Structure 1
Amino acid sequence: NGQDAVPYSWPWQISLQYERDGTFRHTCGGTLIAPDWVMTAAHCISSTLTYEVVLGEYDMSSAEGPEQRIPVAADDIFVHPKWSSFCVACGNDIALLKLRRNAVLNDYVQTGQLPPAGTVLPNGYPCYLSGWGRLSTGGPLPDKLQDALMPVVDHEQCTQPDWWGSLAIRTTMICAGGAEQAGCNGDSGGPLNCQAEDGHWEVHGIASFVSALGCDTPKKPTVFTRVSAFEDWITIANNS
């Protein structure tokens, strides 16, 4: 429940697609963090599927020209070693994909900047989630990239018993949004984009999970992996 993004305004946003019946289908979002590296959520990855990354995408229903489709080899998918699909609330929902070839950077395709390690944004800080996720719980998938203003809900607030509570939320996560705007199926893995004081954009979060009660449940903001908590691992994986 966002709005159509301004075309190509989030040039680091990628579509992670998997092959089925000879065609590739959108499953998750992600962020281009280097010309040959994409960051997404670990829960987006299945070891049995074949993936490719689509960059420079805006309207999924038409070939607009700037799209770059780059395959990902199975050996080049690095899921965080402490990730467990049986415990999403345990955190570590992050994966890196090395692209078969470098992306061509241009007006439509850029790398996203990561925040300084350890950065924690204050309550109410305005960020934007971008993605091709469902427009509402059980609703249709949009063709055009959406974005939604999602203010940060700080750790103290998000861990209140009537919110997510302290069992579900770790300090390595960010809560953002609320009942009015939320991530939904298909947004997973995508970036939480926050503007730094000097005007440049940083990717602070990776969309991880929403409430099983629905995408826009009150007091259950969208939960993101906090990128600034994993920069050491990102660096190690990039160099491996």
Structure 2
Amino acid sequence: MMLTLALLLLQVAYVFGCGAPAVKPDANRVVNGEDARPHSWPWQISLQVKHGSRFHHTCGGTLIGPRWVLTAGHCIGPGDVYRVVLGEHDMSQQEGTEQIRDILRIIVHPMWDIDFVADGNDLALLKLDKSPVMNDSVGVACLPEAGEIPVHGAPCYISGWGNLYTHGPMPDKLQQALLPVVEHGVCSRSDWWGINVKSTMICAGGDAVSGCNGDSGGPLNCLGRDGRWYVQGVTSFVSSRVCNEVKKPTVFTRTSAFTDWLSDVMLRY
């Protein structure tokens, strides 16, 4: 008999303690992007693509199960070879906490279309070849319940190794930034994102701080009432003009709109 997603998530939470990092994030409502405390987002992974004989960071992602990483559909290119690095913080040095895993299977959402980003469904699940060792540097994020939507202004955090600003450098150390949630009624106004933002998306930020190239696929981390961190969104797109633009919040695929699909894929494969 197939497990329900709720039971599956309860088992993950019980066995692996989802959303409860050993190192507490520096959630002091700092608005500007800053270095994250090392390993305070232990579910954050670096998705790396092979160019020649070397691998390079291309996107973020979130460990949501022992062998499952959630990322964005647009991070996956046909024919490319990828790997996942867990337990990473400073990419300029070997810290001894890194764990590298090959990807056994890539499942991109069937309705994702790279030519129609605003249609949504910008999700992909990556099945790792083997489970990482769960420790203080590697852990799983919690998944929200179906249909759950953080309230307007909720203090969520984006994390990743994306460009520090438009056309700027990529940082060595994992960055985090406070991105307050912008409710759909505001984000879909004509002078904001308008019809480009769907109800299956979630907006956050929209001023001096946003996601940028290289943050794609990474999590929107929101603290739940139970004190655990939930991946409420998967970083999808920002303004094509500049990363940081007023009334153009970072747009995420809303995780809670896809719980059925996530459950189906993780149980089937």
Q: Aligned match of 1:217 in 245, 254, 258?
A: 245
Give distance in 1, aligned partners of 2:230 and 2:247: 26
1:82 aligns with 2:114: no
Residue type matched to 1:40 in 2? T
Unpaired segments ≥5 residues, structure 2: 1-31
Letter in 1 for 2:167: G
SS of structure 2 residue aligned to 1:151: strand
1:47 is aligned to 2:78: yes
* Residue equivalent to 2:25: none
Q: Relative to structure 2, which stretch is displaced further, 54-63 or 113-122?
A: 113-122
Quick one: which of 50, 58, 63 aligns to 1:27?
Answer: 58
Deviations 1:157-214 (A, max 9, x none): 001110000x201100000012211000000000000001221111100000001111
Q: What is the distance in 1 between the residues matched to 2:106 and 2:167?
A: 30
Matched residues in 2 for 1:185 and 1:81: separation? 24
Distance 2:133 2:66 in 1: 7
- Of the candidates 184, 191, 194, which is equivalent to residue 155 of structure 1? 184
The aligned residue for residue 239 of structure 1 is 267
Match of 2:121 in 1: 92
Q: Does 1:37 align with 2:68?
A: yes
Residue 125 of structure 1 aligns with which residue? Answer: 154
Taking the aligned partners of 1:217 and 1:151, their CA distance within structure 2 comes to: 15
Quote the residue 1:134 is aligned against: 163
Alignment partner, residue 131 of structure 2: 102
Query: How many residues are aligned here?
Result: 237
Correspondence for 1:169? 197
Deviations 1:61-93 (A, max 9, x none): 0000010000113xx100000000000000000
CA shift for structure 1 position 116: 1.0
Unaligned runs of 5+ in 1: none
Q: What is the CA deviation profile of residues 207-227 of structure 1, one whole-angstrom value per residue up to 9, with x for unaligned ones?
A: 000011110011100000000
Q: Give the aligned residue type for 1:171.
A: S
Measure the CA separation in 2 of the matches of 1:153 and 1:181.
13
Deviations for 1:91-126, whole angstroms, at most 9, x for unmatched residues?
Answer: 000000000111110000001100111101111010
The aligned amino acid for 2:191 is D
Counterpart-to-counterpart distance in 2, 1:120 and 1:130:
19
Give the deviation of 1:239 after TM superposition: 1.4
Provide the rounded CA distance (Å) in 2 between the counterparts of 1:38 and 1:15.
10
Residues 29-86 of structure 1: per-residue CA shift (max 9 Å, x gap): 000011111000000001210000000000000000010000113xx10000000000
The match for 1:113 is 142
Q: Which residue of 2 aligns with 1:197?
A: 225
Residue 4 of structure 2 corresponds to which residue in structure 1? none
Whole-angstrom CA distance in 1 between matches of 2:54 and 2:225: 42
SS in structure 2 opposite 1:234?
helix
Residue 98 (structure 2) pairs with residue 67 (structure 1):
yes
User: How much does 1:153 deviate?
Assistant: 0.4
TM-score (norm 2): 0.87
Percent identity among equivalent residues? 58
Coordinate RMSD, CA, aligned: 0.7
TM-score (norm 1): 0.98
